A and B are shown apart, each in its own frame.
Chain A
Amino acid sequence: MKTLWRAMLLLVLAAVPAAGMAQWLNYPTPGIPRLSSGAPDLKAAVPRTPDGKPDFSGMWFANVPSRDYCRTGDCIQEERMAREQVNLGSKLQGGLPYTDWSKEQMKVRRANGGREDPHTYCMPPNFPRAWTLPQYMRIVQTPGMMVVLHEFNAAYREIYLDGRPLPENPNPTWNGYSTGHWEGDTLVIETNGIRDDMWLDLQGSPITESARVTERLKRLNFGIMQIEISVNDPKAYTKPWSVTIEMAVQVDTQMLEEICMDNEKDTKLYSK
C-alpha cells in the first residue's frame, strides 16, 4: 500500500510541472476536424448548422502567414499584419476612388502622422475595418443572429438574421446597424447607420454616414473565410467599390481581452 501511495505521489509531482507548461491559452478546441497528426484539418469541408447553413462560428484572424525575419544572424518572427490594415484598397488598381472631400480629409489625417486615428485613441474597433485589425475575433452564429466578438476593447457587433429591414433613420454608431440574409451559401450582410467620421484603415481612408456597406461572407473550407467588402459612400468615394479579404480560422486558442485604455501611452509620444 505504501508503495502505491509513493507511486501516486510521484505521478502527482510529475504532473505539476506539465500542468504548469500546458497553458490554458493553447487548450485544444473541441469538435473540429483534425488530421491523424492531431493538427487541425484546415481543408476539411465547411461546417454547417443543423439547418444546413454554413457555420461561421469560431475564432478568426486575417489570413496572413507569419514568417521568420532574419538580420545579422538573429531571427525573429514577423508580426502578422494584413496589408489591408494599412490601406483597405491596397489590391485595387489605382487605390480607392476618393472624392475631393476625402482627399482633403486624408491630407489632414496623414499630416498628423495618424495620431488622430480613433484606434490610436482606443476607440472601438469599427467594422468593416475591424476585420483587418491585429486582434482576434470570435463569431457566434445562431439562426436569428450572428455576433462578432472582438478582443480589442472586448467589443461586440450584432448582425440580425431574422429578416428585419435596415432602419430608415438610424442612429449613427461605430458599427452601424447590420442585417444579414442568405444567398445560397453566402451570408450577405447589409449595414447602414455608420458614424460620419470613421476610418477604414491606418492611412485614414474615410467612411461616412452616407455609407451603405455590404459584406458577403463565404466560408471556402474549414480553414478559410472570404469576405467581399463593398462600400457605396457617395460623400467619401466617387463610385462604389469592392475588395475581398481572407480570414483564417484560429484554433487551439481563445479570446484574450485587450482593454486599450488600460495603459495607453503612445498618444503622449506624438507631441514634443
Chain B
Amino acid sequence: MRIIKTKNHLSVVSALAGLCLALVPAAWAHHSQSEYDLRSRAELEGAVTKVEWKSPHAWIYVDVTNDKSEKVNWSFELPSPNTLMRRGWTRDSLKPGDHIKVSFAPARNHPAIGIASSIKDGSGKALFTGVTPIYEPEAESRGAR
C-alpha cells in the first residue's frame, strides 16, 4: 500500500502493486491506458461542470476545491457511452451542477486528469463506471521476451 497526496482534499490512494492479475479502474475500450497510473486510486468530490457523452469514451468535468480553497476543474474519463448505456446510464444520468464523488486512477503526466472507477451521486448511490481486469502482458507473453 502507498499513499499519494494530491493538491486536493479527500485524496486517498491505494495501490494493488505486485499482483499479476489486477483489477483496476475503467474501461479498456480502445487504448492501453498506460497513460494512467492504474495501480493508484484517489477520491475527489465536487460539482459536475460538463458532460461529454461521446465515443470512444465519455468524459465528465468536475470542479474540485483544493486545500487552498481554489477551484480546480478535473477531467475524468469514463467507458464508452455504449458500455454505460448497457449498464443503465443515459446521457442525462449526470448533469452540470450534480454533486458527485469520483474514485479514479490519476494520469501519469497530466495534472487534474483521471480515469474513473466509480462515481457516487449526492445521495451516495453508486453509478456504474466499470472496473477492468488487467492482465499483465509481462506475465503472459513469455514468447516475446
Please name 26 pairs of A and B residues whose Cβ atoms are closer than 8 Å in the assembled complex, sorted by A.
Answer: A69-B131, A76-B128, A77-B128, A78-B23, A79-B27, A79-B132, A81-B132, A89-B141, A90-B135, A94-B143, A96-B141, A103-B145, A113-B32, A113-B34, A113-B35, A119-B30, A135-B29, A135-B80, A202-B137, A203-B141, A203-B144, A205-B144, A258-B55, A260-B55, A269-B109, A271-B109
> A46 on the interface (CB 8 Å rule)?
no
Q: Which A-B residue pairs are the 3 nearest by beta carbons?
A: A114-B32, A95-B143, A113-B34
> B133 on the interface (CB 8 Å rule)?
yes
> A145 on the interface (CB 8 Å rule)?
no
B56 and A260 contacting across the interface, CB-CB below 8 Å: yes
B109 and A272 contacting across the interface, CB-CB below 8 Å: yes
Show the binding face of A for B, using Cβ within 8 Å: 23, 25, 69, 74-79, 81, 83, 85-87, 89-90, 94-98, 102-103, 106-107, 110, 113-115, 117, 119-120, 122, 134-136, 151-152, 202-203, 205, 253, 256-260, 262-267, 269-272
Contact of B59 among A77, A87, A151, A265 (CB under 8 A): A265
Residue of A nearest to B85 (CB): A25
> B107 on the interface (CB 8 Å rule)?
yes
With the chains together, A218 CA to B50 CA distance in Å? 46
B132 and A266 contacting across the interface, CB-CB below 8 Å: no
Given contacts A76-B117, A272-B109, A256 and B82 within 8 Å (CB-CB): yes
- How many whole Å from A134's CB to the nearest CB in chain B? 5
B30 and A106 contacting across the interface, CB-CB below 8 Å: no
A76 and B118 contacting across the interface, CB-CB below 8 Å: yes
Show the binding face of B for A, using Cβ within 8 Å: 23, 26-36, 52, 54-57, 59, 77, 79-83, 85-87, 103, 107, 109-110, 113, 117-118, 126, 128-135, 137, 140-145
Residue of B nearest to A61 (CB): B86
B56 and A87 contacting across the interface, CB-CB below 8 Å: no
Residue of B nearest to A102 (CB): B144
Given contacts A81-B133, A263-B56, A98 and B143 within 8 Å (CB-CB): yes
- How many whole Å from A62's CB to the nearest CB in chain B? 13
Contact of B113 among A120, A136, A269 (CB under 8 A): A269
With the chains together, A272 CA to B79 CA distance in Å? 23
Residues of A within 8 A of B31 (CB): 114-115, 117, 119-120, 266-267
9 further A-B pairs in the complex, CB-CB below 8 A; given A76-B130, A272-B109: A76-B129, A79-B131, A86-B135, A89-B141, A95-B144, A96-B141, A113-B34, A263-B59, A269-B109
Residues of B within 8 A of A94 (CB): 142-143
Residues of B within 8 A of A264 (CB): 30, 56
